[in-house]
Chain A
């Protein structure tokens, strides 16, 4: 899968030509619409709310959120994408030209909820020397937390590049006060796999997890590590590995004996 983050910074990548695709390409539109519907389902706002759409782009997600009766404010860094949104005239809410890495410019407790479709992976990009990903992440989540009402929820669909970047985003969000985790839709399919970062800004509202596959990353990683360590030292594992290497034709495989897999005596 191609990653636009590797090509150019967002304000340059989404030029008139790229932005035009969002207006004409029905495949992009249907995928974006589907993800927006899912994000709003996960957001589950109580009644008509004021929502922030981060990386609103051509306004596909914004107009869908409005069709549910919410009032929206969108922000995006690409002027071309915003002008597409203006031309289409489907967005009633306001839009800002702003960089999420510089923070969300709203006063405390503004929004009932936040959605973002395919945007926050851009935060990890460093296109200029003044852009330090960790600092941008910190600033983004700090200001996002304060701009949300206590108990408000943010649902952000994004494309994590690696486990490390995913961990970095989640850790920063938690450090800034959010509670939350990642919901993975269609985990079995590489193409359709979608990550939704769900964050809760204070308050006590539990997420309905009955129909979701929620991965608790830390616990899983710990278990995996423990298991591997245990396996590696057993005699069966060593014999199995040796057999495997013999079958593959390696010449320097030691013989099996009663000493295989035994611990050495402690040195003097």
Chain B
């Protein structure tokens, strides 16, 4: 699972959607992998305004990476390739293959296995 998806993913539970603690899901025991992908500058320009930078900072710190800047970088037409490449690397090429993701509100643990998070809830939680 890419960090981009983690940045958009929320708890499946209905009551958690409106609380602030529920997002982002807390990542623990993560195993990472790098999957090469083609760089798509246009897509990055489209998606970066929607990325929640604070949540991304929290997620990357939980994965042990403190190298991201505090402020969201501005992407323009002339943005240099180095910036694009580093964003592409963080958001799209970094894969979480195994982890436990915990909701900060209800405490449900979503396991990630082979890169696929299990977002199913039990009958009582629906």
Contacts and interface: CB of A to CB of B under 8 A. Distances in A.
Interface string B16-36: 010000010000000000010
Nearest to B113: A97
Interface of A: 47-50, 69-71, 73, 75, 77, 82, 86, 92, 94-99, 102-103, 105-107, 109-110, 112, 128, 130, 139, 143, 149
A102 B126 contact: yes
A94 B120 contact: no
Interface in B109-125: 114-121, 123
Contacts, number: 84
Interface of B: 1-2, 4-5, 8-12, 14, 17, 23, 35, 37, 40, 42-43, 46-47, 50, 52, 92, 114-121, 123, 126
Closest 4 A/B residue pairs (Cβ): A98-B119, A48-B43, A110-B8, A94-B5
Contacts of B115: 86, 94-95
B57 to A, nearest CB: 16
Nearest to B118: A97
Interface core residue of A82, A98, A106 (most chain B CB under 10 Å): A98
Contacts of A47: 42-43, 46
A97 B46 contact: no
Nearest to A71: B43
Contacts of A50: 4, 43, 46-47, 50
